[in-house]
Structures are given as C-alpha cells and as structure tokens.
Amino acid sequence: MTNLHWPDAQQIQESWRSERWNGVQRPYTAEDVSRLRGSLHIEHTLAKTGAEKFSQLLKTERFIRALGAVTGSQALQMVQAGLKAIYVSGWQVAADTNLSGHTYPDLSLYPSNSVPQLVKRINQAFQRADQIQHASGQEGADWYVPIVADAEAGFGGPLNSFELMKSMIEAGAAAVHFEDQLASEKKCGHLGGKVLVPTRQFIRTLTAARLAADVMGVPTFLIARTDASGAKLLSNDADPRDLPYTTGERTPEGFYRIKSGLEAAISRGVSYAPYADIVWCETATPNLEEARRFAEGVHRAYPEKLLAYNCSPSFNWEKHLDSETIRGFQHELASMGYKFQFITLAGFHSLNHSMYELSKQYAEEGMSAYVRVQRKEFEAEKQGYSAVKHQTFVGTEYFDQVASVISGGTSSTSAMEGSTEAAQFQEQRGVAAEPPHAATPKRERERTE
C-alpha cells in the first residue's frame, strides 16, 4: 500500500514496468524517489525529449553515429549535415571549453560544471536555430537532437555523481556516461596510470546517477564505461569480484596492481549491466575481434544489453586496419550490438586542422586562400549548409522580427535591411573568376613551374 506521504510513489512504480526499463535494476524503492523529489515537480523538457528521441533512435536505427562537438555552432553543423545525435567529450572540454579558462589534459582538472555548461550552450544553439526556422514559417531540421555527455569518473563519490547527473539533466542531456576510475586519479582512457575503483564502488556511482534521474523525473540513458582493459591499478581489493585480477603487489601510493585485459573488462561489464542502459569498454586499438569478445561476454549474461564504442582519434586507424575494414568497421560493430558509436574528439581535430590549413595558406597567399574557403561554402549551400550567410545564421533576421513586433509592425532600425549580406549574398551564385594559378597554393605552383 502506498505511503500517504508519498502519493506519486505508485505512479513511479508503474512507470518502471514499461519496456523502457527492461533489464534495469534499482536497489531502491519508488517511495525513496518520491520522498527525495520535493513538493514541486519541475519539468526538464529538453532532457526528457532528448532521452525519448534517443530511445526511439536505438529502436529504429541500426546504430547511431555521433561526433564530439566543441561549440554550439559545431553541433548545428552536425545536425544540418544529417547526424542524429551529438556527443560532448570531457577531453574536449578540458582542452578548450572549460569554465576555468585553462587548457588542461584529460585528468579531471577542470570545474565539474563545465560539461553541463557546454551541453546547455549546445541546446541554446539548437533553440536559436529552431526559433529562426520557426519564425520563417518553413519546415526544416529537427534541431533538438539527443546529446550524450561525459561525466568522467563523477568528480568525487556517489553524492558528487548524484549532483553532477542532476546538472546534466538541467542542461538538457539525453544520456550521460560515467567511468570506473578513481576520480582523484582520473586519466583519459588512452593514457597510462589509470586506477580503477572496486566493482561495488562503481555500482554505487551508477546507482547515484540513476537515482538522480529518477528524482528529476527524466528517463535519462545511463552509460557505464569500464577502463579495466588497460588499467593496471586498483584503489582497494574490498570486492571479491576483483580478486581474480589482483597480483598481490602494492604501489608506493597503496594501490593494488592488477592484471588488466579483456577478461577483467568483461567481468566488470557484466557486473555493471543491470545498473546501466548501455555498457562501453574503452579499448587501446580499433580491434573487431576484441570488440566481438567483449560483446559476447556481456551478452552471455545479458543478451539484450546495448553497447557503445569509442571510434577514437587516439587510434592510428590506417596503421591497424586496411581501407576496406575501416569502411565496414561500424557496420561490423553494429552487428555485435554496439548501437552507439562516436568519435570523441572530432570537434577538436577538425577545428584545429581546418584553421591550421587556412592560416598556413593565408600566410602564403593572402585573400586567395580565404576565397577558396568561401567558394567551398557556396558549393556546400546546395547540400544544406547555411553558415556562409553568417548574419542570418546567428539570428539577425529573427531579432529584426522581434523589433518589428515591439514597434507595432514597423521598425526603421532593422539590421538586415541595408546589410552587406543582403546585398551580396542572397543571390550569390559564385565568386569572381580568379587569375591563373590563384586557386593553387604557392608551394604547388613552385613544384609544377
């Protein structure tokens, strides 16, 4: 019988019987959730809608591709180009978009609210794009795609993870992943020196994150990542499940040395599966056989459990795989159950390379280098690219409409009327012909002349 103090507990319990929660265990009750919610239920529309869209994509898509975005504008380009989800990487936030303003390696050195802030920034970019599109009266992109965000190792204990998950939901994240490293020693998955927490301790982190989502009333997807394949240290040996992988050796810091490898990762993946929606094993190379063994290991215990795979830029892809294998790599993963596949640092690498390339050519050639970029933008317009008209892209016309409404339908200070963009770009069909060789970088001309 429902406790009268927690009248929505029965409704919460009923919701947990839906298909969405198949295979998910909660070591707490609906009464616990109701008691912790407070008297006023606050809606989190972006997070809820994103989670529902992510759930639908997992059902209808063979697999979901995503790239890591560094800025709101990058995320808009991803959606406009056809991607159906966005990834927000802690590594990228550490490197260039954290709230401290510093450049950091991926060691959890940045303020813990930095990733939620980038999630919020991306959702606000989506909101503006949607407002611009809606005000024009035209149908177009569904801008509010699901955002999958990196919660690192939780930046502390279970209470820190509880609060961080709440911040992610308030920012509008659809899915959040946590990893089983010791938060105070956290390293990028492709660095050395990783220290795992006991299996039982990480399950507490997952439980804290799930409880936070339940308290917020959002069906956020929870992704459990294990670094056991490459980690060589364990914070303590309190959990019997970890003992088969310990060596009996201790480090000067008091950590336990362990035998890392795929079997250790499978053991942890199986232990985490009941408490997570998706399981992810961080790997050192793009290895299909390794991916298959992990998938089979988890699926022997939990046949329907969804998996994620990091198609990392830390891998030298062509060193390990031939072009044909690379071409079919993600489809092979999908056949094993890896439904979410993402390139964590795509935003960082594409931003840096494209800017270096332009800067190098601009230093040598001047304006001809930039004109080539502009020409590429005009060509890309045919495929849906719209940022070449940068004033329109950021909402100048939208705010002209706002000003017009405020002024009763007329405004003498409209920004787009009389702008260079309106005069030069609206009917743009190309750029003036360049003199011979202008489109060829100086170094190439010197080699051919």
Angle between helices 114-135 and 158-171 (to 10 degrees): 10
281 catalytic residue (yes or no): no
**Residue 314: Cβ within 10 Å count:** 17
Catalytic: which of 64, 129, 188, 343? 188
For residues 151 and 85, what is the distance between their CA atoms, to the nearest angstrom?
17
Active-site annotation, residues: 188
